[in-house]
Amino acid sequence: MRCKDFPTSFNYLQTLKLSVSSATEKSNQPHRVVIIGGGFGGLYAAIALRKANVGITLIDRRNFHLFQPLLYQVATGGLSPANIATPLRSILSRQKNCEVVLGEVSTIDVAAKMVIVGHNAFEYDSLVVAAGASHAYFGHDEWEPLAPGLKTIEDATNIRCRILAAFEAAEIEADPIKRAAWMTFLVVGGGPTGVELTGALSELAHHTLKHDYRNINPSDAKIILVNASDRVLMPYPEDLSAAAMESLESRNVEVMLDTKLTGVYPDFVVVETPQGVRQIPTKTTLWAAGVKASALGQQLAAASGEPADRTGRVIVQPDLSLALQPEIFVIGDMASSSHQTGKPLPGVASVAMQQGNYVADVIRRRLAGKPATAFHYRDYGSMATIGRGSAVAMFGKRRFSGIFAWLIWLFVHVLKLAKFENRVLVLLQWAWHYTTWNQAARLITQSSASVPKKT
Amino acid sequence: MRCKDFPTSFNYLQTLKLSVSSATEKSNQPHRVVIIGGGFGGLYAAIALRKANVGITLIDRRNFHLFQPLLYQVATGGLSPANIATPLRSILSRQKNCEVVLGEVSTIDVAAKMVIVGHNAFEYDSLVVAAGASHAYFGHDEWEPLAPGLKTIEDATNIRCRILAAFEAAEIEADPIKRAAWMTFLVVGGGPTGVELTGALSELAHHTLKHDYRNINPSDAKIILVNASDRVLMPYPEDLSAAAMESLESRNVEVMLDTKLTGVYPDFVVVETPQGVRQIPTKTTLWAAGVKASALGQQLAAASGEPADRTGRVIVQPDLSLALQPEIFVIGDMASSSHQTGKPLPGVASVAMQQGNYVADVIRRRLAGKPATAFHYRDYGSMATIGRGSAVAMFGKRRFSGIFAWLIWLFVHVLKLAKFENRVLVLLQWAWHYTTWNQAARLITQSSASVPKKT
């Protein structure tokens, strides 16, 4: 966390001598729980421990909890950052057994049971590691600046900036070939994020921006979804994949199945389709294809006694702890927990939340001398939205698509999103945006550093 | 306008050859109006010309109109950028005689009647220059990074970042002397912006953050307003200055009158008080002291036949045009218009709006062969808010302070702010924030460039 032009002497973590866990020392809490990460896993663990006789330290690099499932709405100008982010201190304000530390964990000292943040060290009796995941470019890290992914608020406002700037560039581009490249938006990866992103892009082009330009027609935008497998939304059953595909095509999204991305350049990408290699001119390529676990996972893999899996996730025991260090739990996108079905659980919010609640329970049980049962994920259902009035959903064997699935999606997400905020207000705001197609959030903003000074 | 990691070949204005006014050429509009700046002056001029038989090109560096009077609310975490910014294209979406160009004006070619934006040139028959003002540091430009001012959205999110980061630093600072410096916030300049900023800082410290920290008490924050003259809010009558001063002091703001800033450093500032020179340890100094007109003013001053005034404003005729170039109008913060009262009009939104409407009228009259009367500013009143339930207001000879003035302030600002957005929604959002003291907008965000990558 660094602000523009902050006094160069500013590195607050280094202004302290190595002070061991000063905050928990002064309390009389008998059991110190350190949680790394304020996402769905870490935050839910902290909240679930609110009545336990423990002293909690929640460490995050950012000062807010982010509702990641709606990040694509920020990227496409439908919501503002503050709509989907809530300050961690505000959420945990009245939970007196929990302190929040803003900072980045450099090391987990497993032997000394200490987490190092800058020049501070936090001792733990139980450690919950929930640092999440970032993009993976399958060995092509050079693609990252050319095809940004969507994990942080800054990713989202950066993508929003690029999408809107591409329309601006097209508006004043005289060369029709170049204009077409500005108006081609290519999304890599046909999972839920890719589907939601292309669906929202289509709405932006066909509805929101409809009357905004004089030299281009935003509806001429070409939106392409590149998907390596033979259907979108792989984790869903085939009929829902087909429904999603149909809905995307009705929104003028070109879906390229069985297509592999082999090159990303500033002005075009190269793909291998079943019909052969193709070059697609585009100025805007977005990444929704792969994730890898936080780098902390590699440190912990050693402590688990087993190597991390191929996406860097840590193999955990049935109670989500490490084999050789039972006081360390790893949850959410960082954990590879396959005892239940034989394959790792999906990297979704509901898994992380349930795991957060579960490890809180295990910690309480251990303190009470009670045994813990293995973690069991209850799949309440999955949903993905394609756009206004269109989604796919499955709850056990029941499957829905179209407007009904979308209404369920909307209802569930407004409720979830509003957990820490005012539900009525969020609902009204959405209702207003959905009714008017007006998206006040489509601002081109960046740090002052990259914006020309007002002269 | 530049997004992070945008293809390095991206400079859309340079992808075009010098094409003269392509957009207006193709239309059959007989009279081309170019407006520089989408603030209160430029935007109101464009809107007032919506039914005129002219072709308008509105040029701005940013893609949105900013409601500057509430910028301090973004800086203190009360509102989000999208609450006070509306995309220009969205506002002018259906006004078919107006096109928006996103770009920075490098030159006004007065002889050729052309405005140059990158490699594009826009010919005009009438030109309205409304490019606003930026901070002035009275010959101490080296203070700018140490004492940021508040003019753009990025200024506001940067200041928000610094204020919140200072509390975070204090929370984990063991040394009481250093902690006190982190918790001292010094605002330079006791005009409306300085008063509003210190008032909002006081609310942040005493109410919003109340329960958020474990090692510090945010109420211990020291908030200092440094003012060169012997009272705050100089343009207001003395009794209102006194009321504002009293209200600030009741909110634990320390107001230093007759005090001159002589040095700004990362860890302290130096001031000259009537009692002598003092060093004040502080990590956060904010600038609300002076403005200077956009640099375009210097180019225009030559064309006006008179030098710019000492803050860079262009001396204009009673009809706001330039003496030697009557087809060029200068309005808002860039204009020095003193024919009405003998001294220049204040740099406030209502002057700019009225001038925007006025020049639109002059252009229409000239096209109809009618004469124009001199611009006459109607002062409907002035208001400044100190915080919840406290403001000062004057309407002609009537003066108000306290809760009643604040209710008027709130009513007028919600109406004005909501001009291009949904009034009910904005009102509800404010009501919610005011009731709960909860400020979801207090996010520490910056461009991705300055935020550590998720690993």
Using a CB-CB cut-off of 8 Å, the residues of chain A touching B3 are: 158, 161-162, 165, 444, 446, 450
Residues 6+ apart with CB under 8 A from B53: B29, B30, B31, B97, B367
Residue from B249, B251, B239 nearest B400 by CA? B239
Q: Binning pLDDT at 50, 70 and 90, where does residue B30 land? A: confident
C-beta atoms of A449 and B449 within 8 A:
yes
- pLDDT recorded at residue A380: 86
Mean pLDDT of A61-79: 89
- A435 vs A280: which has the higher pLDDT: A280
B325-364: b (≥16 Cβ within 10 Å) or e: beebbbbbbbbbbeeeeeebbebbbbbbbbbbbbbbbbbb
pLDDT at A441 over 80: no
- Say which CATH class A12-135+292-367 falls into: alpha beta
C-beta atoms of B5 and A215 within 8 A:
no
C-beta atoms of A3 and B446 within 8 A:
yes
Residues 6+ apart with CB under 8 A from B389: B402, B403, B406
Using a CB-CB cut-off of 8 Å, the residues of chain B touching A161 are: 1, 3-4
Fold of A141-288: FAD/NAD(P)-binding domain (3.50.50)
- Which of B171, B214, B291, B422 is most worth mutating to test chain A (most A CB atoms within 10 A of its CB)? B214
Task: Check: CB of residue B64 under 8 Å from CB of residue B83.
Answer: no
Q: Report pLDDT digits (tens) over B332-388.
A: 999 998 888 888 898 899 999 999 999 999 999 999 999 999 999 998 888 899 988
The beta strand positions in B61-200, using DSSP E, are 64-66, 85-87, 98-102, 105-109, 114-117, 120-123, 126-129, 133-135, 184-188
E strand or H helix at A328: strand A328-330
Mean pLDDT of A122-143: 94
A254 is catalytic: no
- pLDDT recorded at residue B412: 83
Mean pLDDT of B42-58: 97
Q: Binning pLDDT at 50, 70 and 90, where does residue A451 land? A: very low
State the average pLDDT for chain B: 87
Quote the minimal CA–CA distance from B397 to chain A in Å.
36
- Using CA coordinates, name the residue in chain A closest to B154: A448
- pLDDT recorded at residue A79: 81
Residue from B133, B360, B245 nearest A454 by CA? B133
C-beta atoms of B158 and A4 within 8 A:
yes
Could you give the CA distance from residue A201 to residue A77 in angstroms, rounded to a whole number? 9
Residues 6+ apart with CB under 8 A from B177: B281
DSSP state of B271: E
What does DSSP say about strands A184-188 and A222-226: parallel, antiparallel, or unpaired? parallel
What does DSSP say about strands A291-293 and A276-281: parallel, antiparallel, or unpaired? unpaired
- pLDDT recorded at residue B436: 63
**Which sign does the torsion angle of CA B281, B282, B288, B293 carry?**
positive
DSSP state of B321: B
Quote the minimal CA–CA distance from B73 to chain A in Å.
14
Quote the minimal CA–CA distance from B402 to chain A in Å.
29
pLDDT at A436 over 90: no
- pLDDT recorded at residue A351: 95
Q: A401 pairs with which residues across the strands?
A: A392
E strand or H helix at A386: strand A382-387
Using a CB-CB cut-off of 8 Å, the residues of chain A touching B283 are: 7, 10
C-beta atoms of A451 and B2 within 8 A:
yes
Q: Binning pLDDT at 50, 70 and 90, where does residue B431 land? A: low
- pLDDT recorded at residue B86: 86
Backbone angles phi, psi at A198, to 5 degrees: -65, -40
- A423 vs B344: which has the higher pLDDT: B344
Quote the minimal CA–CA distance from A240 to chain B in Å.
32
Task: Check: CB of residue B271 under 8 Å from CB of residue B261.
Answer: yes
pLDDT at A3 over 60: yes
C-beta atoms of B450 and A15 within 8 A:
no
Tokens of A358: 């579960």
Q: B365 pairs with which residues across the strands?
A: none
Using a CB-CB cut-off of 8 Å, the residues of chain A touching B151 are: 454
Quote the minimal CA–CA distance from B152 to chain A in Å.
8
Using a CB-CB cut-off of 8 Å, the residues of chain A touching B210 are: 93
Q: Report pLDDT digits (tens) over A241-293.
A: 999 999 999 999 999 999 999 999 999 999 999 999 999 999 999 999 988 88
Could you give the CA distance from residue A127 to residue A132 in angstroms, rounded to a whole number? 15
- pLDDT recorded at residue A251: 95
Q: Report pLDDT digits (tens) over A16-57.
A: 334 444 444 444 557 999 999 999 999 999 999 999 999 999
Task: Check: CB of residue B184 under 8 Å from CB of residue B282.
Answer: yes
A431 alpha carbon, distance to own chain's centre:
24
**Which sign does the torsion angle of CA A38, A42, A46, A47 carry?**
positive
Quote the minimal CA–CA distance from A63 to chain B in Å.
6
- A141-288 shares the fold of A12-135+292-367: yes
Distances (CA, A) of A96 to A25, A420, B142, B425: 15, 17, 43, 34
**Which sign does the torsion angle of CA B57, B61, B62, B65 carry?**
negative
State the average pLDDT for chain A: 87
- pLDDT recorded at residue A437: 61
Could you give the CA distance from residue B365 to residue B50 in angstroms, rounded to a whole number? 15
C-beta atoms of A425 and B421 within 8 A:
no
* Active-site residue set of B: 196
- pLDDT recorded at residue A226: 98
- A69 vs B319: which has the higher pLDDT: B319
Residues 6+ apart with CB under 8 A from A448: A4, B152, B154, B155, B158
- Say which CATH class B141-289 falls into: alpha beta
Residues 6+ apart with CB under 8 A from A294: A37, A131, A132, A133, A134, A312, A333, A334, B454, B455
- pLDDT recorded at residue B449: 33
Quote the minimal CA–CA distance from A346 to chain B in Å.
19
Pick from B3, B93, B103: which is nearest to A211 by CB? B93
- A216 vs B6: which has the higher pLDDT: A216
Per-residue HEC secondary structure of A65-85 comes to EECHHHHHHHHCCCCCHHHHE
C-beta atoms of A7 and B215 within 8 A:
no
- pLDDT recorded at residue B5: 54
Tokens of A23: 């905050």
- Using CA coordinates, name the residue in chain A closest to B420: A440
Q: Binning pLDDT at 50, 70 and 90, where does residue B7 land? A: very low
C-beta atoms of B449 and A444 within 8 A:
no
Could you give the CA distance from residue A186 to residue A270 in angstroms, rounded to a whole number? 11
Could you give the CA distance from residue A194 to residue A187 in angstroms, rounded to a whole number? 6
Compute the C-alpha angle A258/A261/A266, nearest 5°.
Answer: 145
| Active-site residue identified among A173, A196, A203, A421 | A196
Could you give the CA distance from residue A393 to residue B452 in angstroms, rounded to a whole number? 35
- Using CA coordinates, name the residue in chain B closest to A148: B5
At A377, is the secondary structure helix, strand, or coil?
coil
Residue from B121, B103, B42, B46 nearest B349 by CA? B42
* Owner of token pair 């002219």: B54
Q: A262 pairs with which residues across the strands?
A: none
Cβ-Cβ contacts under 8 Å between A and B: the total is: 289
Pick from B15, B90, B442: which is nearest to A178 by CB? B15
pLDDT at B4 over 80: no
- Using CA coordinates, name the residue in chain A closest to B174: A16
Number of other residues whose CB lies within 10 A of the CB of residue B250: 12
- Which of A24, A143, A163, A445 is most worth mutating to test chain B (most B CB atoms within 10 A of its CB)? A445
Q: A281 pairs with which residues across the strands?
A: A268
C-beta atoms of B63 and A120 within 8 A:
no
- Which of A90, A143, A173 is most worth mutating to test chain B (most B CB atoms within 10 A of its CB)? A90
C-beta atoms of B154 and A446 within 8 A:
yes
For the entire predicted model, the pTM comes to 0.87
Q: Report pLDDT digits (tens) over B87-114.
A: 899 899 989 999 999 999 999 999 999 9
- pLDDT recorded at residue B424: 64
pLDDT at B45 over 70: yes
Could you give the CA distance from residue A156 to residue A121 in angstroms, rounded to a whole number? 32
Distances (CA, A) of A268 to A228, A261, A281, A283, A287: 18, 11, 4, 7, 14
Using a CB-CB cut-off of 8 Å, the residues of chain B touching A455 are: 134, 294-296
- Using CA coordinates, name the residue in chain B closest to A96: B214
Could you give the CA distance from residue B128 to residue B31 in angstroms, rounded to a whole number? 13
Residues 6+ apart with CB under 8 A from B338: B344, B345
- pLDDT recorded at residue A316: 94
Mean pLDDT of A295-299: 88
Share of chain A above pLDDT 90, in %: 62
Residues 6+ apart with CB under 8 A from A73: A79, A83, A84, A200
Pick from A8, A146, A440: which is nearest to B82 by CB? A440
Q: Binning pLDDT at 50, 70 and 90, where does residue A9 land? A: very low
Spell out the domain ranges in chain A: 12-135+292-367, 141-288
Q: Report pLDDT digits (tens) over B151-188.
A: 999 999 999 999 999 999 999 898 999 999 999 999 99
Q: Report pLDDT digits (tens) over A142-194.
A: 999 999 999 999 999 999 999 999 999 999 898 999 999 999 999 999 999 99
pLDDT at B417 over 80: no
Q: Which of A211-215, A308-312, B253-257, B413-417 has the highest mean pLDDT?
A: B253-257
- pLDDT recorded at residue A397: 87
- pLDDT recorded at residue A311: 87
C-beta atoms of B168 and A212 within 8 A:
no
Residues 6+ apart with CB under 8 A from A247: A199, A386, A387, A390, A401, A402
- pLDDT recorded at residue A341: 85
Residue from A192, A187, A201 nearest A392 by CA? A192
- Using CA coordinates, name the residue in chain A closest to B26: A215
Could you give the CA distance from residue B304 to residue B308 in angstroms, rounded to a whole number? 9
C-beta atoms of A213 and B12 within 8 A:
no
Could you give the CA distance from residue B210 to residue A90 in angstroms, rounded to a whole number? 10
DSSP state of B320: S
Tokens of A287: 């990444």
- Using CA coordinates, name the residue in chain A closest to B98: A214
Share of chain B above pLDDT 70, in %: 86
**Within 13 Å of residue B90, how many CA atoms lie on the same side as its CB?**
24
C-beta atoms of B145 and A454 within 8 A:
no
- pLDDT recorded at residue B208: 87
Pick from A178, A425, A449: which is nearest to B447 by CB? A449
Q: Binning pLDDT at 50, 70 and 90, where does residue B12 land? A: very low
C-beta atoms of B445 and A215 within 8 A:
no
